[in-house]
Amino acid sequence: MQQRPFKQVDVFTATPYYGNPLAVVLDGTGLTDDQMQRFARWTNLSETTFLLQPTAAGAARGADYQVRIFTTSYEMPFAGHPTLGSCHAWLDHGGVPKTAGIVVQECQVGLVTIRHAARNAFAAPALRRSDAAPELVQALTDALGLPRSAVLASQHLNNGPSHFGLLLDSQQRVLDLAPDFSQLRAAMQGAAITGVGVASVHGGEAASVGLIVRSNREARAFTGISSSASAAVNSQEDPDVEVRFFFDHGHGVGEDPVTGSFNASLAQWLIAEGRAPRSYMAAQGTCIGVQGRVHIHQDASGQVWVGGDAVTCISGTVYL
């Protein structure tokens, strides 16, 4: 065992203890897979990450560091809040990117670009999506306690993790969900998906005037506004999209506070189908006492960026 630098950060919030926590071991050199998994199980957080030097191939393509992402039960190829949280912890620990304003993270899905600004944002990985069989949609709606008529659209979503998305007809419908977790887990395992996300676009119409105005403001948040201005946008505006996400953590199904990977794939899907504007702010965690805020922006090239604040809550060392 040796002393290793460690941070615990809160992601998708500017206020400590109101986001999604992440444990970050800033030097995972020499640790085995079993040691990483055991420590991740011990932290008992949804994800724990271990930072390493990039592989030779990754370094040649500009990677600043490599990250490995573990839940309490298994390793993930990619996840959103560990991406932003690991980047925040790396920079907070003195990391200097090879390219000013850009951090390149290597993970199992490949290289992920993160814009380093007042609010960091990662480039959403390529998404594979497809329609679902009606039987699966019915099984999921039954497990969630929803009438089938409440579902406006549904999709299989895969950007590393394999998720399923349901777009519902109202914000209140999302907030009122009371899933049968055992029934939901059975449906998820039968379809080989690790998480089910539900969302609603406020007002039901992406083209509403209010959404377009807020969309323009969100777009400006990706062009270098100050931290104080960013916080003002975060606190003064209501979110445009409400999200909840239920995932199988190996010991049953639970609700995730804020889910970057699902919000990334959700945004790519909804924007592509004209169901959400190119820039918006999503709320997640409302029903479990979390005030997560996810900032979405699609740039002129079509790339979707997923942004969020992060704050350090614990800084020190661990013995591993």
239 within some domain: yes
pLDDT > 70 in the chain, percent: 89
215 confidence band (pLDDT: 50, 70, 90): low
160 and 274 housed in the same domain: yes
69 and 134 housed in the same domain: no
Distance of CA 76 to the CA centre of its chain: 13
Q: Does the pLDDT value for residue 232 go beyond 70?
A: no
Task: Provide the number of structural domains found in the chain.
Answer: 2
115 and 133 housed in the same domain: no
189 and 69 housed in the same domain: no
180 within some domain: yes
252 confidence band (pLDDT: 50, 70, 90): confident
301 within some domain: no
pLDDT of residue 309: 98
55 and 133 housed in the same domain: no
Element (H, E) at 102: strand 102-107
The angle formed by the CA atoms of residues 231, 207 and 138, to the nearest 5 degrees, is: 95
299 within some domain: no
CA–CA gap between residue 78 and residue 278 (Å, rounded): 23
What single letter denotes the amino acid at residue 265? S
89 within some domain: yes
CA–CA gap between residue 206 and residue 209 (Å, rounded): 9
pLDDT of residue 250: 73
pLDDT of residue 248: 86
184 confidence band (pLDDT: 50, 70, 90): very high
> What would the DSSP string read from start to end of 222-290?
TTT--HHHHHHHHHHS--SEEEEEEEE-SSSEEE-S--HHHHHHHHHHHHHTTSS-SEEEEEE-GGGT-
304 within some domain: no
Q: Does the pLDDT value for residue 225 go beyond 60?
A: no
Q: What is the pLDDT of residues 64-116, one digit of tens each?
A: 999 999 999 999 999 999 999 999 999 999 999 999 999 999 999 999 999 99
69 and 56 housed in the same domain: yes
Q: Per-residue pLDDT averaged across 269-275, rounded?
A: 98
229 and 249 housed in the same domain: yes
56 and 201 housed in the same domain: no
300 within some domain: no
Q: Give the CATH number, domain containing residue 8.
A: 3.10.310.10
148 and 270 housed in the same domain: yes
Q: Which domain holds residue 71?
A: 3-124+309-319
140 and 278 housed in the same domain: yes
153 and 281 housed in the same domain: yes
Give 49: exposed, middle or buried? Use CB within 10 Å, 0-12, 13-18, 19+: buried
91 and 159 housed in the same domain: no
233 within some domain: yes
